[in-house]
Amino acid sequence: MENHHTYIKRALELARSGMESGDGGPFGVVIVKGDEVIAEGHNCVLSSNDPTAHAEVVAIRKACDFLGTYQLDGCVIYSSCEPCPMCLGAIYWARPKAVYYVCTREDAARGEFDDEFIYNEINMSIEDRSIPFIHISIEKADELFLRWLKKSDRKSY
Amino acid sequence: MENHHTYIKRALELARSGMESGDGGPFGVVIVKGDEVIAEGHNCVLSSNDPTAHAEVVAIRKACDFLGTYQLDGCVIYSSCEPCPMCLGAIYWARPKAVYYVCTREDAARGEFDDEFIYNEINMSIEDRSIPFIHISIEKADELFLRWLKKSDRKSY
């Protein structure tokens, strides 16, 4: 566990320093491939006016840029906190081999972050959600996906 | 519904053109405030090597950049497809007033996209997930959130 602890402590340090510099909430991430740290990130929602600039998203984007691919094959993500649903989704799309985390969604809720609230909203039926999601039916719109499947140069992601 | 249909058709058009130009899957988004389109986006996962560059994330980032804030107060999001969990989370963090969508997560699954798979993974206990999530206990790590709450210049997001 020695290396894991080194990386996770760095993630916690990034969380602390990012918060103190006013970039955003106390969240930090380190992404490792083999023995190499390929990306670090901290929450930059406030400094970048970007609600998607969570530590995980920031670090995943940097790691993919570094590797020149949209997949984190063989990579390990170390996060100061259990990912929110947005970041969990980002992790699934990036497909690393494992995620280590320290604080939990309940800890984040005690810091007045919406992680747990959003996890609860996901499981509500659409009509009960706090943001209205309204379905519009348009005939044959789903043919987009048939066209996608038939695309001769299609690259899956 | 007239304006809704104009915007949602534009989102479908962005989905189609983005796919045809090879930028990514068939997904498009328009964000409107009042009567103004403030951002458009389409999936750019392939063209930008960024697994987070889904249409919703791309458009939310542009809209926030345009407005100079990390919140989409009073905005409406029009999406060619029901958002994946990552984009759903991004929407909750951005807090628009409503979301209109056409295709569903089941349509996306028929296009071999993981949206529905990821929705299912979220509700699994952590030990059953296809990506291992491993908790590391570090004493007093959650004090980060106490420090955050006590921060004198704290700005909630």
CB atoms within 10 A of CB B29: 32
Say if the Cβ atoms of B70 and A4 lie within 8 Å.
Answer: no
* Contact predicate A105/A84, CB 8 Å: yes
B97 vs A1, higher pLDDT: B97
Determine the 3-state secondary structure of B86 from DSSP: helix
Contact between chains at A50 and B68 (C-beta distance less than 8 A): no
A37-60 average pLDDT score = 98
- Give the residue from B133, B139, B153 with the most A CB atoms within 10 Å of its CB, the best one to mutate: B133
Cβ contacts of B60 on chain A, cutoff 8 Å:
51-52
What's the mean per-residue pLDDT of chain A?
A: 96
Calculate the CA dihedral of residues B143, A45, B90, B140 and round it to 10 degrees. -10
pLDDT digits (tens, 9 = 90+) for A71-117: 999 999 999 999 999 999 999 999 999 999 999 999 999 999 999 99
Among residues A105, A90, A79, A73, the alpha carbon closest in space to that of A4 is found at A79
Q: Is B13 on the interface with A (CB under 8 A)?
A: no
Where b means 16+ CB within 10 Å and e means fewer, A20-47 reads eeebbbbbbbbbbbeeeebbbbbbbbbe
pLDDT number for residue A126? 86
Portion of chain A with pLDDT greater than 70, in percent:
99
pLDDT value at residue A1: 55
Q: Is B8–A138 a contact, with Cβ atoms under 8 angstroms apart?
A: yes
Three-state DSSP class for residue B17? helix
**Would you state the pLDDT for residue B52?**
98
DSSP state of B83: P
| % of chain B surpassing 70 pLDDT | 99
> For residues A26 and A42, is the Cβ–Cβ distance under 8 A?
no
d(CA A146, CA A23) in angstroms, rounded, equals: 43
Q: Would the pLDDT of A2 be above 80?
A: no
What are the start-end ranges of the H helices in B95-142?
105-110, 115-122
Question: Among all residues of A, which ones are annotated catalytic?
Answer: 56
Q: Do A86 and B94 touch (CB under 8 A)?
A: no
Residues of B whose CB is below 8 A from A51: 60, 64, 70-72, 90, 93-94, 157
Beta bridge partners, B32, equal B37, B76
pLDDT for the residue numbered B126: 86
**Chain A residues touching residue B84 (CB < 8 angstroms):** 89, 93
Report CB contact under 8 Å: A49, B26.
Answer: no
B104 touches chain A (CB under 8 A): yes
CA distance B128 to B62: 36
Residue B129 has a pLDDT of: 94
Q: Which of B52, B86, B98 sits opposite A134 (nearest CB)?
A: B98
Cβ atoms < 10 Å from Cβ of B56: 29
Q: Which helix (H) or strand (E) holds A135?
A: strand A133-135
Catalytic residues of B: 56
Q: How far is CA A20 from the centre of its chain?
A: 21
- The segments of chain B whose pLDDT lies below 50 read none
Distance from the Cα of B126 to chain A's closest Cα (Å) equals 11
| Residue count (chain B) | 157
* pLDDT tens-place string over residues A115-144: 999 999 998 988 899 999 999 999 999 999
Residue in B52, B61, B98 closest to A132 by CB: B98
Task: Give A32's contacts in chain B (Cβ within 8 Å).
Answer: none
pLDDT of amino acid B2: 63
**What pLDDT does A127 receive?**
86
